[in-house]
Structure 1
């Protein structure tokens, strides 16, 4: 009898000791937050086509094709590498690849070196190109004379005060090369001298 009581007391003491001993809680390792990777130039350019202009002061033109509709590119030969800045001048003419799209009354422009971009409305009348509804100069209209020859678009400023003349200095600096194939055969075979910077979706 005494032996059974002794065994019972021993079991109770062991249970009490286990209950009173500190228990280590499982450690939780939180995954470090990973910021979304910056989009590639192609991603940023394609995303720009998901946006449309705001009719700041002028109604949006009808979504109809024009004679100038295409994506154009140019590579500015300036050697200086653009430096990061919190508020770079809009339309500042820097070296590297620029892309310019005219599509059914909407123009889009993109500088691939630092991600700067804009969009607005445009209209074509004879040999005049009108740019308006640009968020960087929403009260101003740019007027240019255009010439499209052998896939090369040349713009000559008539009047454009946007960004203190920086937009005109950029757009008229050098010809823009079209990413549209010159004929049906070139479009089907893709055998043509495609300008550097043209993506498949630009054709």
Structure 2
């Protein structure tokens, strides 16, 4: 039985197309595509209305969560669990969005800022809970201090305050244009 070169080329082309379509079907499940989808969503207002105005905390921040013991596989991990990896949070005009780029876990909610305090609400993980924090932004680093946050058995508070968050915005216009600045890992 002779197989022509033409038949082999057609077969390989068909195989390649099948592989590419199969790969693209699963590529939408990446953390970056989840992030892009999250940015398109608006938080549902369970309790406190969204205040749609710029605040001092607005921006994108990242942190690297360190490994605390061994990760245990679970079917329904607790929300806001500080799994190791890169975390990204975006505060924008009263709405926040957060994702762990390693696990793909994500959430959304609203916030209100008054001086150095931030109140988080409307989180689908804990619709009746409010989180009150003191925050400080110094040298483009955001730090949270929990005042009171019962959300997800207090995991939201420990996650947000566990490590400093680095700003993804360049320090000045020149750095923004030239990209000559130490961009933190996890910024896009």
TM range (shorter): 0.7 to 0.9
Q: CA deviation at 1:46?
A: 1.3
Counterpart in the other structure of 1:157 = 146
Larger radius of gyration: 1
Whether the 8 Å CA contact 2:30–2:104 is kept in 1: the answer is no
Please provide the CA RMSD for this pair.
1.8
Deviation at 1:80, TM superposition (A): 5.2
- Residue 94 of structure 1: how far off its partner (Å): 1.5
TM-score (norm: length of structure 1): 0.77
Aligned to 1:12: none
Aligned length: 167
Q: How far did 1:134 drift? A: 0.3
Distance 1:82 1:115 in 2: 15
Conserved 8 A contact 1:76-1:95? yes
Instruction: Say whether 1:48 aligns with 2:50.
Output: no
| 1:85 Cα deviation after fit | 2.4
**Structure 1: gaps of 5 or more residues:** 1-30
1:10-55 alpha-carbon deviations (Å, 9 max, x no partner): xxxxxxxxxxxxxxxxxxxxx9x95821432221111110111011
Q: Of residues 156, 164, 183 in structure 1, which corresponds to 2:172?
A: 183
* TM-superposition CA deviations, 1:138-163 (whole Å, max 9, x none): 11110000000111000000000000
1:84 Cα deviation after fit: 4.0
- With normalisation by structure 2, the TM-score equals 0.83
Distance 1:114 1:94 in 2: 8
